[in-house]
Structure 1
Amino acid sequence: SSSSSAGLITVDDRCRSDQSCVFYGAVGRPLYLQLPKEDYLQLKKINSGTTSDVVFLYRNKKIRINHLDQRWEFNNETKTMIITRAEKEDSGRYRLDSFNSTGFNTGPYSLHLIIEAGVSSVKMTNSCFSITERKVHCSSDGDQIQFSWTLDGIPHNQNLTDGNQTLLLGERSTGNFTCTVKNHVSNGSATVIIEPCPEALLLWFSLEMFVLVWVLEIIVLLALLGGFHIYGRIFRKRSIKRNSRSAESLITVDDQCRSDQSCVFYGAVGRPLYLQLPDEEELKLFTIKSDYYSDRILHFKNKIIIGKPSDPRWEFNTENKTMIITRAEKKDSARYRLHTYNSTGTNTGIYYLQLIIEAVVSSVEVMDSCSSIMERRVNCSSDGDQIQFSWTLSGTTSGSRLTDGNQTLLLDKDYTGNVTCYVKNYVSSGSKTIELQQCPGKINLIFTELICTGEELLYEL
């Protein structure tokens, strides 16, 4: 089963700071953006640190600039912007400027909108894979999903692996096991009844033990052969880590993250990420699973790691108080909370941050087609998450006649020259340039057809 509800976003005083409010909407579901009830409202989508596009302007009870996408509708009476069917391309940072009837600036407001695919197709599988242990695995579609379990209605948080997707049980475990899957916009669940594993598995015990011993022998041999090589690589990696950090993603947890509203940081899939924590004597880092539940992933006190991350990709450097994700993955995307204490045990702060891991821009392709006698289309495509497109014509920025979320550029059929498509997201960028030649003309066909009428024809080239 799964459930979600239409999203209502209220733009209020929490969004007045430069740090954006973070709101979530579900793909394919309506989203209601309640704007302040002022006489002048201007909504901009921020493309980068210095550029933005006006997507909506309301002044003196009239809509002066309407959103180009018909999915965006504005209710004059309630001052509500309605996205009738949210899509991932709606994700982004927005700025709202508002003025009252006297012209006094009552804003600005900053917000960050993230559209996620809802939870769907929750499935569970059960397998008795050894004589002493069985696995119950849960899978689901959706963005930034999180898993939790109950046994006969009681929360079950032990023996979980694979980001809580897999539950490890004894071969004689029984009961109703429920997997609950959720993200910021929806949730779903599935339940299976677990019976004891068949006793026939005992027949395979001898064979499994033989195979296990054989595999262990091979592992020991490989470890002996590669041990010195692995140690050398680790030593070299640690010795150069400080020098190479400036080229990767560095996140600094500072006073901006002290409010309940999370700081938002981005990382790239497959690349290292450095989380610079405050220089305090005791640090406790948690992953926030819900409003009432969180997992502790690090406890550092008196220069000793008391509780370390279970994922080997997460490493903590005790000298400079840096948490290192050696190879970021999308499952690292989550809300985190950090508690810090000084040498006397006094709580020096609680920090909140939102980490979003994105796939980088790759495989940028540009295609040209002369679609009609008067017009040609140049289309750009790319892999990556939350990508944005921009264009230049022979090195000059082009912002007109763009469609399909800026993916398609409409040009006059006679245009020739270099066209460059730039693709970017929060973690990377890419581009591709093609040279446009003259479109094949249709002048001869038209000329012949007109001359057959017998009338005089004047055709200017």
Structure 2
Amino acid sequence: LLVQDPVVCRFTESKLCYVALGQQLHLQMPLEDAFNLKITDKTFADHIILKYRKSQSNPPTPHIPGWQFVNDNKTLILTSAERNNSGTYTLETFDAGGERKDSYTLQLKIKGLLAQDPVFCRFTESNQCYVALGQQLHLQMPLEDAFNLKITDKTFADHIILKYRKSQSNPPTPHIPGWQFVNDNKTLILTSAERNNSGAYFLETFDANGTSKGIYTLHLNIKEGSLDQDPVVCRFTESNNQCSVALGQQLHLQILLEDAFNLRFTDMPFTARTILKYRKTQSNPPTPNIPGWQFVNDNKTMILTSAERNNSGTYTVDTYDANGSSKGSYTLQLNIE
């Protein structure tokens, strides 16, 4: 977790801040003449973290271990988040005369990967599987007479993980470290997910005579941070046209209820790509053209299962009526932090 980018939270942007256990947090203060920062912990006890006055000759030192104060940009840095850092943070600001200006609150939630339940994925249910870095995965195999399981990694190299034959006297041992095979329920267990476990997994099944029965594919995505955050919900009709999502967090992007729309994405190099074309008259809902997105037809919502940095950019939705006439265009700036 220590190799993750730090989480950046601000009192002026949101009332919630999620940080993984062991991750670094940058808590940015507004540029005021004076402020007091305190935490109310889970026992409802108040603790002063910092009292800042612009007139001080030396920058103040935080009263709680683990925090550092950077005077140049008024940022408090939590080097490695602990569970006891969870709580309600209250910031009171003052003008140069000592008059109170504003009060802000921020709820800091520290999420521990070790306390998460394992993720269960099956080849017969979905072609995508998302696991947090360090989390446990149970990969359930179908109950067949024989199967071969291999991974194609990001370099397009193939690696055999397991060859199973029901006729074997002893259950096989996985060829890749970190995996365990439980013969009783035909489950492969990845004890602690690493980045190099990401890739395409191919499972070929056979009958008792060795004849191939079918091939299944599953894309395993190992994500930084905790997967148990609430999803961010953004709409194109929001007043500020901005949407901020944490790296690895889920996004629900709600589209307007129109007869037709085109959704396109312009990334940082200013390359425009179409993500989805929707027409109410289609017999089947469309599939997004960019990996990682899912479209829920019932409520016209695009779901980004786990936000990546390359999802940052400008999203434009062009809407149309039943006759194909334009009704309007909306833009939204998506920022992955």
Give the structure with the larger helix fraction: 1
- With structure 1 as the length reference, what TM-score do the two structures score? 0.34
- Normalization by structure 2: what TM-score? 0.43
- The higher radius of gyration belongs to 1
Question: Larger relative contact order (C-alpha < 8 A, sep ≥ 6)?
Answer: 2
